[in-house]
Amino acid sequence: MTDSNYIKVFTGDLIIVQRIINELEKVSINPIVKDQTDSGIITDILGSSASHFQEIYVHNDELDKAVLIIEEINSELQA
């Protein structure tokens, strides 16, 4: 992401990223998601990717609100 108006706020697996996206959209933040999985990644026996990470970017104007939401979700997951 080369656009300086957007900042990466989270990198993680698909499930957590989806939860964060849902919470951000509830407060009218439209995140941009960048998939970091290589197309040639080795898959396990079940066919799922070994490491499927995505990055979430938000506009500079929405950064403070987005960070609070992400911190809240991280706190819940660690509890």
> What pLDDT digit, counting tens, does each position of 17-76 carry?
999 999 999 999 999 999 866 555 544 444 554 457 899 999 999 999 999 999 999 999
pLDDT of residue 62: 97
- What is the pTM (predicted TM-score) of this model? 0.77
Give 14 or 2, the one with higher predicted confidence. 14
**CA-to-CA dists, residue 34 to 26, 37, 44, 50, 76, angstroms:** 20, 9, 23, 17, 24
Residue 44, H or E segment: none
- Find tokens 């609070």 and name the residue: 68
- Find tokens 């040639």 and name the residue: 40
Right CATH for 6-38+51-78 from 3.40.50.720, 3.40.50.10490, 3.30.70.120, 3.30.200.20 = 3.30.70.120
Give 5 or 36, the one with higher predicted confidence. 5
pLDDT of residue 47: 52
Measured distance CA(37)–CA(22) in Å, rounded: 21
Measured distance CA(48)–CA(38) in Å, rounded: 13
